[in-house]
Amino acid sequence: MLYTFGIYFYGFLLRIGSLFHPKAKKWVNGRKNFWKNIPDLENENVIWFHCASLGEYDQGKPIMEAWKKEHPKDFILITFFSPSGYENVKDKSVGDFTCYLPLDTKKNARKFMKHFHPSKVFFIKYEIWVNHLKAAKKSGAKIYSVSASFRKNHRFFKWYGGTFRNALFLFDHIFVQYELSKSLLSKVGINNVTVSGDTRYDRVAQRAAEEKQNEIIAPWAENEYIFVMGSSWPADEEMIIPYINDYKINTKVIIAPHEVNRPHIQQIEDRLKVNYQLYTNIQQGESLKRHTQVLILDCIGVLADAYRYGNIAYVGGGFGTGLHNILEPASFGLPVIFGPIHKKFPEAQEFINAEIGKSCDENKSFFEAYSTFKKNEEIKVKVKDFIEEKRGATLIVMQALRSQ
């Protein structure tokens, strides 16, 4: 009853928030007329993948593609909870139909299951929607969690987390990233678990292997040493930009802020004292000058390819908002520097242990990390070898699924 009340109250708050907050508005508007816009299905074997947002979609994509390759006649359904996932993927999804997940009420869950009736359900990482899981189980679907990662302080293992802990027993099998997750699940009586690793390593390695060039960045970056600030926040920029202005970072720099709204871009421009250009201006006809020191990516969708031209990366979010994707730059051989708040991201500690990543908590430690990596001529090979060793989670999951 508490969970049901919480879901309805959450939906109410989102509707109120939609009057003031653009993201909440997208969440609400994206679910309007939901039942009128879903496809009619007849004699389709539906395989349902649920992703919280864009990061989980990338994490699940290797499994989606592998499944589609082995079972080309199956109907792939992909759902998102967050607008940041759905809005970025809806026009290029690997699924046959991609949509928002309806609010997790019992009525919505039963109606969703009755219409799509998936034979297999995959929840990526660890987002749990209890009513949809129960409805899927009742309908006879096999349910899996892929690339799951659990920590001791997760709600699943708290005294008040019984509803969510019980929901874990609904999964037919759970594929986890680390042995610690398997151990935590075993302590609460869940043993249908396989340590498969993280499918994101397969995804980023696949993307890095693509022969894809950015026609704007490539000529400017040719034969240059490039430092990339990816998914940066004001705290990150405040720490690093003075080193650019003082020419202590005297190489070319790509800055890709996490938020590309005009006030944030203007803030970066105001801080810079060196030659810079905006990516969107070049898209609109302005030439990118070879002597320009800083290129600001003031739009989304370019960063992943920009890492291709880099030598060292700094990834933002580690000063409070949550560390962003450090696997992406590493897939191109870039060592990664990041902020101090990364306990929720086990890969960060793995990078530190492998000496291909460094955490910094002040200006001095950032520049020491940058200088250390810049002097290491073998670091790119070391990073690529690390990524290669981590690949293979998709193969493990697919092999296990064939026997179930």
Question: Fold identical between 27-197 and 208-387?
Answer: yes
CATH 3.40.50.2300 at 208-387, yes or no: no
388 has catalytic annotation: no
CA-based nearest residue to 149, from 169, 127, 118: 127
Which burial class, exposed, middle or buried, applies to 193 when counting CB atoms under 10 A from its CB (0-12, 13-18, 19+)? buried
In which band, very low, low, confident or very high, does the pLDDT at 374 lie, cut at 50, 70 and 90?
very high
**Which residue in this structure is represented by tokens 């592998």?**
66
**pLDDT score of 403 more than 90:** no
**pLDDT score of 126 more than 90:** no
List, for residues 132-182, the tens digit of each pLDDT value.
999 999 999 999 999 999 999 899 999 898 999 999 999 999 999 999 999
- The Cα–Cα gap between 139 and 117 comes to 7
CA-based nearest residue to 367, from 243, 268, 247: 243
CATH 3.20.20.140 at 27-197, yes or no: no
In which band, very low, low, confident or very high, does the pLDDT at 88 lie, cut at 50, 70 and 90?
confident
Q: What is the predicted pLDDT for the residue at 2? A: 84
Q: What is the predicted pLDDT for the residue at 320? A: 84
Catalytic residue among 56, 237, 328, 347: 56
Q: Where are the domains of the chain?
A: 27-197, 208-387
Alpha-helical regions (H) of 124-278: 130-139, 162-168, 179-187, 199-209, 217-221, 234-245, 262-271
Q: What is the predicted pLDDT for the residue at 278? A: 97
Quick one: average pLDDT of 380-402?
96
List, for residues 208-221, the tens digit of each pLDDT value.
998 789 999 999 99
Alpha-helical regions (H) of 254-334: 262-271, 279-283, 303-306, 327-330
In which band, very low, low, confident or very high, does the pLDDT at 84 lie, cut at 50, 70 and 90?
confident
Tokens describing residue 81: 């909870």
Global confidence as pTM? 0.88
Q: What is the predicted pLDDT for the residue at 56? A: 93
For the chain, report the end-to-end CA distance as a whole number of angstroms: 34
List, for residues 342-358, the tens digit of each pLDDT value.
988 999 999 999 999 99
